[in-house]
Structures are given as structure tokens and as C-alpha cells.
A and B are shown apart, each in its own frame.
Chain A
């Protein structure tokens, strides 16, 4: 337990001191949300209708871009090999790293959501719903992204491989996140049903992700 909390604290320290992760993720989120009105036009009513979807897409792409910082740096300086050889279960160690990654890059996205919601003319109920669904959904994105990060950790010229592997698996999270956010604002469907499915997806990915990632690391780094 001490080892895991030490790993968590170490990763958070590295992320804060080396810098770039949280701020760049939020900046990319801001850029995406800014680009959309240029593309679809500044009609406020239209932006209000598609606002939750834009915020979800921006958060998804922003968390995708920061994924390679999850394992690649440790692979390069050898800490990943130490983790593999250590006594702490690799699944828990990888989960601790994912938790640190979410706290430092996923949570700032959620905090930035209300401000960006104002850019999209969302009403307060919608902003609250999107923020809540992102709060619950971004851990799922980190858990699923963990699998892709582990599969591509040793690749030097991975390029777009990581997004290509991760994005199809995150489609259900996106669908139910946006459905819950839209349901809270309008529509006959209740907020609870898609939100609970979103919670289930998060919990499932926090179990599946570390197991698959640990298996990928063991097999890929032999």
C-alpha cells in the first residue's frame, strides 16, 4: 500500500514539476472548443444544442493526446522495468499511475468545463450535467487509454497508432456521456439511465484497463 501511494505521489510530483501535461491538455481543450464555432458558425442556439457533444469530444481528444506521457517516460529511463521486476502487483502499479494521470490531466479538463461551457452558451443545468458526466467519464478514458499506452509503449514511431487503438474502445463512453448530458437538459429520457451506464463503463474500464495494460507490458517488454 505504501508502495502504491509512493508511486502515485511520485507520478503527480513528476507531472507538476516537469509540467506541460495539465496545462497543455486544458489548452488543447480550449483550442478545440474554439475551433468548432469557426466551423459550424456562431449561431448561439445551435451551439447550445451541440454544446455537450463539443465539450465531450474536446475532452476525449485532449485526454488522448496526453496519454503517451503515461508510460513512455518511465520506459525510457528504465523505471518501467523496475516496476515489472518488483514485488508490487503490476496491475495495481499501473492503476496507481493511471490515477495520478487522471488527477493531473483529466481533472483539470473537468475544472475547465464550466468556463468553456459559457463559450458555447450552455445553460447552468447543462454545464453542471456535462461537468458531472465528464467527472465520471474521464477516468474511463484514462483506463481505456492505459491499454493503448501499454501496447504502444515500446514503439518509437507509433505515430497515430495510439489514438487508432484507443478511440474505438472509447465510443461507448462518449455515447453515454453525451446522452446523459443531453438528457439532463431536455428530452424525454431520464438523466439517470445513461449516467448509471456511464458509471458502469468507468468502473469496468478501471478493472479491465489495468489487467490488459499489465499483460501488454509483460508480453511486450520481454
Chain B
């Protein structure tokens, strides 16, 4: 089965029916391994104690917050350039998930900041740009809901997403360009990761677990969106038939 077959919604539905249980299982296993590594392998910080383990939720959520906007941007290019049938389904389903990950990143970071920095919030470059990302997610979701026709909404949301993608490099490099309270990059930086493998490995496993969670939820949401559009099409056909009769 070629990749092009995924463009057919019916084939996509049957594929997800087969794949989703395995993905859900893989997600659960990844979380189990990750949480074991976090509690058994990763050491407590000598200053922060066990509170440092919030990082293993905060950082993957932050990575996914930006990663999901990237996924939606790629889907938007698929909508605008190739008119891929499932591209705007993918974009619409991913937006609430991205907003949730961004919110969780902000929430866990805030809860971690209170004991560590002494404040729930500070208007430094990293926190502000992630907050702006969250508002942009909500804007995209609002645009989806305001335009009635799904394909027109898809094209409008695609343009908005691509314009908003300019925020992603700003978030990534904000800790380098400005003097921020948020710590600078430790993993994805020139010169390689700056943290020890006993912390890096659990972090990467948790990141994988959250990424699998996103893929599972995303495919499930895409299924729902395709079925929702079929229901809408049936309503329209029924209304049209009733009008004509």
C-alpha cells in the first residue's frame, strides 16, 4: 500500500482502525518505561530535590507545543500547495492538542517556577513568546469554528498557521537573544546536550512517550473529524433532497 493511499479517507479510516490499538499500547509502554526511569534512574537535584522531576513533564510538553505547530504548518502547506484531501483534517485535529500541550507546558513551568524562582510568572522572552503561541493556537481554533465551510476554513487556517510559524524560531532562540530568567538551551544546542545521560535518557524517553501520545490522539481526532464531515455531508444531502421533493 503506497503512501498516496492514505489520501483516501476511507483507506485512512481503515488503516487507523488497525493501527490505533498498537499505537495506544506503545504509548502506554513508553510512559511506563519513562516514568520508571524518571523515578528510579534520574537523580534528585542537590538544590531542588525531587521537584526537579517536573522537568520530565514540562520539557516534553514544551517541545511538543512547538512541534505540533510545525506539524500543522506542514499540513497547511499540504492544503495550500497540493490540495491534499486530509491535510486540513490533520490541521484541524492537531490544533486543540497543540493548545493543550502549550497550556500544560505553561502550567507545569509555572508550578515549577514558584518554588524555584519564587514567582509563578515572569515576563521574560521565553515565557512571553510561549504565551503568545498559546494565544495563537486559540486564534486558529477560533478561526476554524467561525468559518462555516470546512474547506474554506481549512485554507484560511492554513495561511494563519504559516504566518504564525514565524513565532517558532523566536521561541527557540529567545533564551539566546535576550537575558531571560528561563534557563538557556541544554539539549538542542551547538555542541550537543549539556546534561548527563542519567537525566538525558529519561527526558528523551518521556519525550518519545508524549510524542506517541500526540500521534495516537491525533489519529483518533482525525478519524472523528472525517466522520463528522461525513455526517455533515449527509445532513446537507438530506436537506437538499427534502427541498427538491
Contacts and interface: CB of A to CB of B under 8 A. Distances in A.
Interface of A: 147, 151-152, 154-155, 157-159, 161, 164-165, 167-169, 171-172, 208, 212, 215-216, 219-220, 222
Interface in B110-147: 128, 132, 135-136, 138-139, 142-143, 146-147
B136 A151 contact: no
B65 to A, nearest CB: 14
A165 B152 contact: no
Given A147-B163, A151-B159, A215-B159, A168 B135 contact: yes
Contacts of B139: 161, 164-165, 168
Nearest to B167: A168
A219 B163 contact: no
A220 B157 CA distance: 10
B164 A212 contact: no
Contacts of B142: 161, 164-165
B80 A151 contact: no
Given A161-B146, A164-B139, A164-B142, A208 B163 contact: yes
Given A164-B142, A219-B80, A212 B147 contact: no
A207 to B, nearest CB: 12
Given A168-B132, A208-B166, A216-B155, 18 more contacts: A147-B163, A151-B159, A151-B160, A155-B146, A155-B147, A158-B146, A161-B139, A161-B142, A165-B139, A168-B136, A168-B139, A208-B163, A212-B159, A212-B162, A215-B80, A215-B159, A216-B156, A219-B155
A168 B136 CA distance: 6
6 contacts: A147-B159, A151-B143, A154-B147, A168-B135, A219-B152, A219-B156
A37 B127 CA distance: 29
A219 B143 CA distance: 14
Contacts of A157: 146
Contacts of A216: 155-156, 159
Interface residues of B, number: 23
Contact of B152 (A167, A168, A220): A220
Interface string B13-27: 000000000000000
B159 A161 contact: no
Given A155-B147, A171-B132, A165 B160 contact: yes
A60 B147 CA distance: 26
A98 to B, nearest CB: 15
A204 B152 CA distance: 27
B143 A161 contact: yes
A168 B164 contact: yes
B217 to A, nearest CB: 25
Contacts of A215: 80, 159
B155 A220 contact: yes
A164 B144 CA distance: 13
Nearest to A166: B139
B235 to A, nearest CB: 21
Contacts of B136: 168-169
Contacts of A171: 128, 132
A169 B132 CA distance: 8
A95 B80 CA distance: 22
Nearest to A163: B139
Contacts of A165: 139, 142-143, 160
Contacts of B166: 208
Contacts of A155: 146-147
B173 to A, nearest CB: 13
Contacts of B159: 147, 151, 212, 215-216, 219
A212 B135 CA distance: 20
A219 B158 CA distance: 10
A164 B135 CA distance: 8
A215 B156 CA distance: 9
A158 B143 CA distance: 9
A171 B134 CA distance: 13
Contact of B163 (A154, A167, A169, A220): A169
Interface in B183-227: none
A25 B167 CA distance: 29
